[in-house]
Structure 1
């Protein structure tokens, strides 16, 4: 007894099988990702799911599903067996070339797993990489980490490179930040008055937070500590330590403090000097100064 499929051409049957496998692969991937997205939307707000790990897992699952689908398609194509036998003659060269070509890719994937496992940073963290790149982590893929800088540019860094660099994470375990506010005042200025103004102006900023311990409060440690840190060539450097609850608020606190301090110093006559150089000439030295005639435009 023959079935209806026996009268169908073999090429059409093969094409039908491959299309069926591809359709099942796409459907399975769509279903799995859909379930994960629903889990993300329902649980992510509670903090029970790490978005960084979830994005990484979704991409990994898609790669595995599509890889399995492609492998299943290839097993149903007899012609590929002949191609495989012909490739065996150059197996040594092919293995060497494949190894060299995939070394960097595999290194990025392994580094991505290390980033996911040890979590030096997560999606949403504000990081600085070796002092060259700064921004917010936007995504971590199998191959690279995407960082959005403060000009809204996307910096794409391979995982193998970022895992070997020094990373400064402003959000790792603690979002608070200490901003150093330094101002140089003239040697003739009243230092006590300048330090009191810095404590007052910075201390009343709404974004400043109190980082003092109970013991420091009992010992009357000021909310804003100001110290002399340098006796420069033309100014005395005063430094204040100001705390904010996030890097963004810390930046605003620092900028506002510089503006407010400049206004207060000008109001009471505290000088913020700039570098000056005095040139002395030996007795009898002849100095020529070029002047320009504004009418004729000639120099004499």
Structure 2
């Protein structure tokens, strides 16, 4: 390739010509795609190495979107500065920047409020990715898992695989219940009745032995006498479980386990 050929190509790349402006635009688009790809790849590598989960996934995802948008804004600004026609247009717009800013602010008020609200969600962190929220939507109360927080909207995935999409400004100003942030531990009370002439201490020991063998019980709180009937003595086994669902399983399991242990010891027991 000789010098004249190179000069010919450089002539086509002159920003004053439409062909040169188009070629430069393609080059800038390629640079933008490459920069955005490298940025996302770098963020994925950082998240993959964070095996202790010290980084908040929602904050990382939101800031990645902000960084990607910033990259494209810079690409467009550099391109507009290189093309004389666009540069002159930008200079003319700056002469009326006060009017333009007011018009732009009014036109993009909701968009800007969603963008700023996204930063408030990241800063105050009322919820994280994967948290289950209960919110009031136009169709009624909805419960869903936080699936994504973009520059303008928050997406919740419901149990029936629907997507509830709310603007960041709306969800930051509404009252919500973070079901994942609440302490799910539950006290499970399992009542038993024994005969009046039965040995209370022996019955209590058998009940506590059954509870001690259950891996689903986090803590045994006690087994006091809670009532005296005409022919029975009422005992209540009180245990702490991780979640209400586990507590429901423990309730039925303890009824069966205590019944078998009492039967082996020659005692009778029934649930109150």
TM-score, length of structure 1 as denominator length: 0.59
| Higher strand fraction (1 or 2) | 2
| Cα-to-partner distance string for 1:143-198 (whole Å, 9 max, x where unaligned) | 122222222222222211221223322433xx741447799xxxxxxx9739x9xx
2:40 counterpart of 1:33: yes
Residue 69 to residue 82, structure 1, CA distance change in 2 (3 Å): closer
User: Which residue matches 1:111?
Assistant: 117
Query: What SS does the corresponding residue of 2:134 show, helix, strand or coil?
Result: strand
User: Which residue matches 1:244?
Assistant: 241
Residue 254 to residue 165, structure 1, CA distance change in 2 (3 Å): farther
Query: What SS does the corresponding residue of 2:222 show, helix, strand or coil?
Result: coil
| Cα-to-partner distance string for 1:74-126 (whole Å, 9 max, x where unaligned) | 2334444459748978974x544432332222111112111111222111222
Structure 1: gaps of 5 or more residues: 184-190, 213-220, 229-238, 271-300
Aligned pair partner of 2:135 in 116, 119, 129? 129
User: Which residue matches 1:193?
Assistant: 193
State the shift of 1:133 in Å: 2.5
Runs of 4 or more consecutive aligned structure 1 residues displaced over 3 Å after TM superposition: 1-9, 76-92, 94-97, 178-183, 191-194, 202-208, 225-228, 239-244, 254-264, 267-270
| Cα-to-partner distance string for 1:246-282 (whole Å, 9 max, x where unaligned) | xxxx243355468779999xx9596xxxxxxxxxxxx
Aligned mates of 1:17, 1:206 — CA distance in 2: 67
Aligned mates of 1:96, 1:209 — CA distance in 2: 60
| Higher helix fraction (1 or 2) | 2
2:19 counterpart of 1:12: yes
CA contact (8 A) 2:222 2:239 kept: no
State the shift of 1:135 in Å: 2.4
